[in-house]
Structure 1
């Protein structure tokens, strides 16, 4: 479980396919504090630490993860947003994030706004019921507030701190991003879906 508040960025040191999986070696200042079997959010994807050595650690993304996220596109030298699992005795500054990405979206535009930036993203319209105006979304692991919602797109405003301390500053139109919709919205949508089904009892 995460909050969507990025702790730091790591650098992909190596990306090695193995069968249907991808083993990643990440160089990060967090490495010395990690232990094997810990969960770490990588661009919003929860992956398990499999080994740690000095300032690097390894983790493995399985085929299911590669199919639903942009993790498979990572290459050596690229920056990745990192967050360790939340601690429940401190403030939750973002929102509850599972690290279970629902799918990918696409950056449509980036507009400077005299000190901030507005990013526009497209997404699969089937997820439209899970997003609300001024609600939360997790984008590449970053907890953000959405606005200007359409059936297949939304915008987010990025402040200078987020721009400088996450890899969102590298995004260009056409780039894929990982999206995790708010878990509360998923439960509500599921409940409504269940209630809408005809009863089998007489």
Structure 2
């Protein structure tokens, strides 16, 4: 369980193909605090730490994860948003995030609004995944508020701190981003579909 509040960014140091899986070796400022079997969200995708050494750690992405996320597009040097799992002894600053990426989206537009940034993202809409204005959405693991919502697309406004502190600043038009839709919205949508079928 996560909140979508990015703790730090990490850097991809090594990529190792392992049959249909990929092992990623990353470095970050809190590597020395990580433990084997710990859950860590990478661009919003929950992966398990399988090895730690020096200032680096290793995680494994299975084929299903690679197909549903942007992890397969990572290269050596890619900057990744990181968040350790939620501790239930503090405030929930973002929203409830599971670390299970629903699908990917494509950056359609980036506008500089005198220091803040307005980003529009397109995705293949189904009746399972929808956005609503002022609702919650997770983009590359970042808890954001939907500023605008349309069929198969939504926009978010990024404050300067989030832009600089996360990998948002590296985004370009056409880039693929990981999306996790609001869990409450997903449950409501499923219940409405179930009731409509009765």
TM range (shorter): over 0.9
Stretches of structure 2 lacking an aligned partner (at least 5 in a row): none
Q: How many residues align?
A: 198
1:174 to partner: Cα distance: 0.3
Call closer, same or farther: CA 1:84–1:156 in 2, change over 3 Å: same
Q: How many Å separate the matches in 1 of 2:122 and 2:156?
A: 12
Residue 91 of structure 1: SS of its match in structure 2? coil
Matching of residues 41-120 of structure 1 within 5 Å: 41-120=41-120
Q: How many Å separate the matches in 2 of 1:58 and 1:129?
A: 31
Find the counterpart in structure 1 of residue 22 from structure 2.
Answer: 22
Conserved in 1, the CA contact under 8 Å of 2:128 and 2:190? no
The question of 1:194 aligning with 2:189 is answered: no
What's the TM-score once normalised by structure 2's chain length? Answer: 0.98
Residue 148 of structure 1: SS of its match in structure 2? strand
1:130 to partner: Cα distance: 2.8
Find the counterpart in structure 2 of residue 181 from structure 1.
Answer: 181
Q: How many Å separate the matches in 1 of 2:127 and 2:107?
A: 16
Conserved in 2, the CA contact under 8 Å of 1:131 and 1:181? yes
Structural RMSD (CA)? 1.0
Find the counterpart in structure 1 of residue 32 from structure 2.
Answer: 32
Conserved in 2, the CA contact under 8 Å of 1:9 and 1:79? yes
> For 1:109-150, what per-residue CA distance to the aligned partner results, in whole angstroms no more than 9, with x for missing partners?
111001111011001121575311110100000000012210
1:197 to partner: Cα distance: 1.7
Conserved in 2, the CA contact under 8 Å of 1:49 and 1:59? yes
User: Greater Rg, structure 1 or structure 2?
Assistant: 1
Q: How many Å separate the matches in 2 of 1:69 and 1:132?
A: 22
Residue 173 of structure 1: SS of its match in structure 2? coil
Q: How many Å separate the matches in 1 of 2:29 and 2:67?
A: 29
After the TM superposition, list the runs of 4 or more consecutive aligned residues in structure 1 that deviate by more than 3 angstroms.
none
1:9 to partner: Cα distance: 0.3
